[in-house]
């Protein structure tokens, strides 16, 4: 543009510039017909006053302000004191000018340099307006944004924080419930175990009382039997005298006396074995000949086996190493297995096979019957305390549980194999002392 002949003496900006050292105008069209504003500086040079003027390109200035965008609804613009826009406004986002009039009043409202107000627009949405003074209070830089957009990040953060807190609370409560349930379950299990132990103690006391009673009865029987045997011997001696030698029934008397003496001796042996088994449990570790121990228990059980029509067969490996165990505890285990087998075949009769053999540093005792067998559903429970399939009053359910505990304490194991209508086999595995584990089995 050629502005060499332009006359600015009547222009407002020129008149204002002559009154002050520098001046910034509002946006106007001017001689060029394009929106712009000027900055004029008055200087005294060589005794004359000069005015230096600079024209600010409106497009560049407007782009600078338009680029102030935050979020989806935030934008900035500049107003003068008359409420005229000094930058190109976004009319699609600007509602009525009512909020801006609050900024165009007294400058005292801008003591802090920035003023913030909140108003509802025509749609009822809350809008935040932030304004600060420019050009010595002649211009206002205004930034506006919908409150929902301005605080969206904060609200999102709050929602995320609340979600995290709720999730953490749920996790804590869930963990507390899980832990408390486990603790309650353990306490209940401990109470059940305590109750079972109490019942086991009571039953053990009963068994001990029965054992003491049996020992007393055996002792009381043993004395009369001993007297009977002695008297039979005395009568036999008397029959040797001459006055009785010619009697018609002498041979019959001798036969009867011999029978009395033999049966009395048998009763004495049985009562001695019963006394040996019924005496107070001795848990001392000692050398035990397992074959001899089992043989004694078989003799003790033979009479009951005959009544149940059960044939007991034994197959012992010879020269078995001695075990270092509690003799009474091993007696208890083997006798319990024998009694269980006899109970199983009490009505039907059958065969009971008891065997011993050496295998990989252990002595294996096998107790096998051909009774009705154990259902598969009960196999896993037979060693549980108080589990029994016997009629009420006949079994306590403690026998196998106690036996299992005894063998486990020795470092051994009990394995059961059973098939319904075919029979059951219990294998008791007891470890040899370390110094005897290298001994090879005899073939």
Class of domain 184-280: mainly alpha
Phi/psi of residue 125, each to 5°?
Answer: -85, 140
| Cβ burial, residue 236 (10 Å; 0-12/13-18/19+) | middle
Write down the pLDDT at residue 442. Answer: 47
Write down the pLDDT at residue 130. Answer: 85
For the record, the structure tokens of 266 come out as: 């048998």
Write down the pLDDT at residue 52. Answer: 79
For the record, the structure tokens of 191 come out as: 């109470």
Fold of 283-436: Heat Shock Protein 90 (3.30.565)
| Cβ burial, residue 181 (10 Å; 0-12/13-18/19+) | exposed
The label of the residue with tokens 């009769």 reads: 349
Contacts of residue 137, defined as CB under 8 A and 6 or more positions apart, other chains included, come to 81, 107, 110
pTM across the whole model? 0.46
Write down the pLDDT at residue 152. Answer: 84
Instruction: Kindly give the parts of the chain with pLDDT less than 50.
Output: 93, 95, 439-443
**DSSP 3-state assignment of 251?**
helix
Query: Domain 68-150 in CATH: superfamily?
Result: PAS domain (3.30.450.20)
214-242 confidence digits (pLDDT tens)? 766 776 777 777 777 777 777 777 777 65
| Cβ burial, residue 89 (10 Å; 0-12/13-18/19+) | middle
**Domains of the chain by residue range:** 12-59, 68-150, 184-280, 283-436
**DSSP 3-state assignment of 174?**
helix
Write down the pLDDT at residue 177. Answer: 93
Phi/psi-derived region of residue 375, left when phi > 0, alpha when psi is between -120 and 50, beta in every other case: beta
Q: Do domains 68-150 and 283-436 have the same CATH topology?
A: no
Write down the pLDDT at residue 443. Answer: 42
The label of the residue with tokens 């009562």 reads: 271
4-47 confidence digits (pLDDT tens)? 566 676 677 777 777 877 777 777 776 666 667 778 888 877 77
The Cα-based distances of 264 to 13, 214, 216, 295, 438 in angstroms read: 150, 19, 18, 21, 45
């Amino acid at each position: 543009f050629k502005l060499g002949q332009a006359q600015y003496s009547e222009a407002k900006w020129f008149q204002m510039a002559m009154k002050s050292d520098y001046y910034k105008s509002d946006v106007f069209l001017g001689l060029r017909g394009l929106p712009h504003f000027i900055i004029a500086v008055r200087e005294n040079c060589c005794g004359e006053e000069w005015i230096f003027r600079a024209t600010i390109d409106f497009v560049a200035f407007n782009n600078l302000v338009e680029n102030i965008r935050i979020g989806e609804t935030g934008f900035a613009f500049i107003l003068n004191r008359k409420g005229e826009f000094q930058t190109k406004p976004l009319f699609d986002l600007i509602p009525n000018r009512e909020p801006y009039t609050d900024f165009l009043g007294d400058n005292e409202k801008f003591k802090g340099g920035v003023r913030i107000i909140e108003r509802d627009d025509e749609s009822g949405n809350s809008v935040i307006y932030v304004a600060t003074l420019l050009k010595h209070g002649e211009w206002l830089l205004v930034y506006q944004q919908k409150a929902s957009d301005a605080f969206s990040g904060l609200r999102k953060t709050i929602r995320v924080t609340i979600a995290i807190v709720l999730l953490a609370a749920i996790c804590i409560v869930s963990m507390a419930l899980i832990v408390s349930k486990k603790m309650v379950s353990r306490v209940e299990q401990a109470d059940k175990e305590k109750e079972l132990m109490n019942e086991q103690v009571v039953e053990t006391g009963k068994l001990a009382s029965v054992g003491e009673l049996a020992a007393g009865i055996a002792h009381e029987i043993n004395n009369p039997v001993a007297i009977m045997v002695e008297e039979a011997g005395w009568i036999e001696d008397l029959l040797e005298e001459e006055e009785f030698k010619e009697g018609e029934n002498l041979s019959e008397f001798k036969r009867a006396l011999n029978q009395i003496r033999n049966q009395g001796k048998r009763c004495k042996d049985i009562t001695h074995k019963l006394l040996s088994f019924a005496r107070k449990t001795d848990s001392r570790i000692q050398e035990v000949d397992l074959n001899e121990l089992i043989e004694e228990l078989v003799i003790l059980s033979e009479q009951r086996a005959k009544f149940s029509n059960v044939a007991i067969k034994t197959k012992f490996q010879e020269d078995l190493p001695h075990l270092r165990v509690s003799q009474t505890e091993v007696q208890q285990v083997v006798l319990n297995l024998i009694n269980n087998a006899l109970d199983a075949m009490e009505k039907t009769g059958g065969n009971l096979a008891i065997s011993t053999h050496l295998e990989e540093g252990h002595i294996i005792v096998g107790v096998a019957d051909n009774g009705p067998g154990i259902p598969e559903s009960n196999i896993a429970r037979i060693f549980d305390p108080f589990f029994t399939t016997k009629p009420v009053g006949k079994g306590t359910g403690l026998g196998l549980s106690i036996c299992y505990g005894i063998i486990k304490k020795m470092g051994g194991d009990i394995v059961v194999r059973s098939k319904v209508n075919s029979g059951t086999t219990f294998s008791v595995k007891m470890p040899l002392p370390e110094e005897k584990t290298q001994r090879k089995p005899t073939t």
